[in-house]
């Protein structure tokens, strides 16, 4: 329907319903640390994450490769947001951005690597996050449909220096999950997922087998997945990575304690099994 409606209306609707599609967005204070200096939104789409982050961080940098979406964002974002029309990668250059047929970016599935549902490509500029002169980075969200590892390699200096929280979309049906988890592990990061209402350590949750069993949900459109009458089943496809020793929403407190507002208590069978193995 998006191609038949005004862009501003589509963008406003997407921002309004997206927390139901990606409930982690509704828990953004668990992800983005208080007093965040710079937050980065890689793959801005219509700006649901950019808008929320602009109210939490002093500065937001949004990297969006689809020309039409980047222009829309530049016209509509708050003053503390800087929009960069480019694809984040491991270095500067140009690349081909693949899109489905008759789609101008509305579906949010453009990709530098994914061609299974794509029929045409447009040339785009590539940038590395390390080359953008960013400082005091507290949070980075990455949604790039398959080129996550390249984005992270292009941000290695930033990750080592600022140790931001990372929220990364990972889907085994597009690219293997293991290389990203291993790379971030070498940088001292551990993963967390939100399958229900509690954060669970990634190594205690079978992400790939879960995605295989819930793959039919991934094929549904945004509208069907946010309808209030649908069941509670969801397709978990994003991982919160935190520097080792930090836990979601607890300001660095050990697991099992509440931090007050925004805090999450980590218990239940997944986490008990995790601590038993440790």
* 96-139 confidence digits (pLDDT tens): 998 877 776 666 778 888 776 677 888 999 999 999 999 999 99
Averaged pLDDT, 198-205: 96
Counting DSSP H helices and E strands in the chain, the numbers are: 11, 11
For residue 251, the model assigns a pLDDT of 45
Per-residue confidence at 143, pLDDT binned at 50, 70, 90?
very high
Say how far apart CA 101 and CA 116 lie, in whole Å: 11
DSSP H helices, 34-170, are 48-54, 67-76, 148-153, 156-162
Residue 257, pLDDT > 60, answer no
For the entire predicted model, the pTM comes to 0.81
As beta bridge partners, residue 87 has 126
For residue 248, the model assigns a pLDDT of 93
DSSP H helices, 5-95, are 7-21, 28-31, 48-54, 67-76
Q: Strand runs (DSSP E) across 103-229, as ranges?
A: 120-127, 137-142, 165-169, 189-193, 200-201
Task: Evaluate whether 266 touches 198 at the Cβ level (below 8 Å).
Answer: yes
Residue 177, pLDDT > 50, answer yes
Report residue 131 as tokens.
């080359």
State how far Cα 122 lies from the chain centre. 23
Residue 160, pLDDT > 60, answer yes
Say how far apart CA 121 and CA 231 lie, in whole Å: 36
Q: What is the CA radius of gyration of the chain?
A: 18
Per CATH, which fold does 13-94+128-277 belong to? Rossmann fold (3.40.50)
């Amino acid at each position: 329907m998006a191609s038949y409606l005004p862009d501003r209306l589509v963008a406003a609707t997407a921002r309004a319903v997206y927390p139901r599609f990606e409930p982690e967005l509704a828990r953004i204070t668990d992800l983005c640390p208080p007093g965040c200096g710079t937050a980065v939104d890689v793959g801005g789409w219509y700006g649901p994450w950019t808008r929320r982050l602009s109210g939490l961080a002093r500065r937001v940098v949004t990297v969006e490769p689809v020309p039409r979406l980047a222009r829309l964002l530049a016209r509509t974002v708050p003053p503390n947001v800087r929009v960069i029309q480019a694809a984040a990668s491991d270095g500067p250059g140009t690349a081909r951005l693949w899109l489905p047929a008759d789609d101008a970016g509305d579906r949010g599935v453009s990709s530098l690597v994914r061609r299974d549902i794509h029929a045409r490509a447009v040339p785009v500029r590539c940038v590395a996050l390390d080359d953008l002169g960013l400082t005091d980075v507290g949070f980075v969200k990455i949604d790039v449909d398959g080129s996550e590892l390249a984005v992270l390699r292009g941000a290695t200096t930033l990750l080592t220096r600022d140790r931001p929280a990372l929220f990364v979309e990972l889907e085994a049906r597009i690219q293997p999950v293991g290389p990203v988890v291993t790379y971030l592990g070498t940088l001292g990061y551990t993963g967390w997922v939100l399958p229900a209402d509690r954060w669970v350590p990634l190594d205690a949750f079978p992400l790939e087998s879960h995605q295989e069993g819930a793959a039919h949900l991934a094929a549904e459109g945004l509208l069907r997945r946010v309808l209030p009458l649908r069941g509670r089943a969801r397709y978990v496809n994003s991982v919160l990575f935190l520097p080792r020793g930090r836990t979601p929403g607890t300001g660095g407190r050990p697991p099992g304690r509440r931090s007050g507002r925004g805090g999450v208590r980590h218990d239940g069978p997944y986490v008990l099994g995790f601590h038993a193995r440790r």
